[in-house]
Amino acid sequence: MTRTSAETVNADRFISIEGIARRYPAAGGGSTTIFEDLWLQVPRGEFVCIIGHSGCGKTSVLNILAGLETPSDGVVVVDGQAIDGPSLDRAVIFQGHALLPWRSVLGNVAYAVSSRWRKAGRTEVEERAKRFIDLVGLKGNEAKKPAELSGGMRQRVGIARALSIEPKIMLMDEPFSALDALTRGTLQDEVRRICKSTGQTVVMITHDVDEAIYLADKIVLMTNGPEAMVAEVVENPLPADRRRDSIHHEPDFYTVRNHLVDFLVSRSRTFRDEKPAGYDPRHPPLVRLGVPPEPPPANTIPFPAVAKARD
């Protein structure tokens, strides 16, 4: 069922991570390598989820992409330019919403808008901010302070703030991990709807397998840290018009899910010692999962043996 293609991850290198490393000085001298020689390409308009256990450095990868951290080695090239610090082209949605608590909802979004368009007039800025507050379904809450909002609403404001500056890339660091399951579901729907309709390029960190399957076009699997690596890139075989309420009836759903869960449960640990022949960190294998052309035996719905792989 699993075919590992020899071809590299898409040739369109909108985001190109080239041999980055992250090392910390260790307690007794020397240094701890979280990851090194990490390569990854993301084409324009693609939604990529990076999945892996805590400590594999996935947040570091995202922070490097954002420009908030500098890699100990290597470079990241975005749209043909090596990144050098944070930029308005790369919006970040933080894990803990990171709203400015002394500003209203409108004030928070308007702050981003006026940072993007410094010469814009007040009405213009507010109009634009309101449009994006509307887009994430928060119309009527413009004057509220973040403290008056629920966790899900705060994260919506964070999303509105990120979208409002029309970034080339959206970077999300486990944006929904602090939310309850219901809210998380609705927000995933919104993010998927907005990103699909705008063709937004997204890199998202998650450790929620189902979230990755629902949202991502490609899922990047990272092995356990320290010295983590990109084990493979899984292409999501589910149809683009997948829906949350019926996604588990898609024929390939459990194939992907089991593959991811298997990886998180065992291969993320053992991969380093059992690298497949010809593994090249510069071109992590692209894995295509899918049912063979002939239909599967009727009415066998695989039992979800493993619950969510969460650390």
Partner 1 sequence: MKSLGVRAGLLSVLLFVAFCALWQIAVTPSASTGPALDPEYAKLMGISTVGAKSAMPGPLDVAAKLWDNLKRPFYDNGPNDKGLGLQLLYSIGRVFIGYGLAVLVAVPVGFLIGMSPLAYRALDPFIQVLKPISPLAWMPLALYTIKDSALSAIFVIFICSVWPMLLNTAFGVGAVRKEWLNVARTLEVGPWRRAFTVILPAAAPTILTGMRISIGIAWLVIVAAEMLVGGTGIGYFVWNEWNNLSIANVIVGILLIGVVGMVLDLILARLQKRVTFPE
User: Does 39 help bind partner 1 (rule: CB under 8 A)?
Assistant: no
The single residue among 115, 150, 198, 266 that binds partner 1, judged by CB under 8 A, is 115
**What DSSP element (H or E) covers 213?**
helix 209-215
Sign of the Cα torsion 195, 200, 205, 208 reads positive
Which 144-173 positions form the footprint of partner 1 (CB under 8 A)?
A: 145, 147, 165
120 binds partner 1 (CB under 8 A): no
Return the residue of 43, 72, 79, 111 that touches partner 1, per CB under 8 A.
Answer: 111
Torsions phi, psi for 18 (to 5 deg): -120, 95
Cα–Cα distances (Å) from 160 to 75, 110, 182, in that order, read 29, 10, 20
Mark 43-72 with x for binding to partner 1 (rule: CB under 8 A) and - for no binding. -----------------------xxx----
Around Cβ 196, how many Cβ atoms within 10 Å? 14
Instruction: Give residue 296's identity as a one-letter amino acid code.
Output: P
What's the closest the beta carbon of residue 98 comes to partner 1, in angstroms? 4
Q: Which of 8-16, 43-51, 53-61, 98-106 is the region at the interface with partner 1 (rule: CB under 8 A)?
A: 98-106
Query: Of 13, 90, 154, 267, which lies in the binding site for partner 1, with binding defined by CB under 8 A?
Result: 90
Binding partner 1 (rule: CB under 8 A), the pick from 86, 199, 239, 276 is 86
Strands, E, within 223-273: which ranges?
Answer: 230-235
Shortest distance, position 68 Cβ to partner 1, whole Å:
6
Q: Is 191 exposed, middle or buried (0-12, 13-18, 19+ CB in 10 A)?
A: buried
Q: How many residues form the binding site for partner 1 (CB under 8 A)?
A: 23
- The residues binding partner 1 (CB under 8 A) are 66-68, 85-88, 90-92, 94, 96, 98, 100-102, 111-112, 115-116, 145, 147, 165
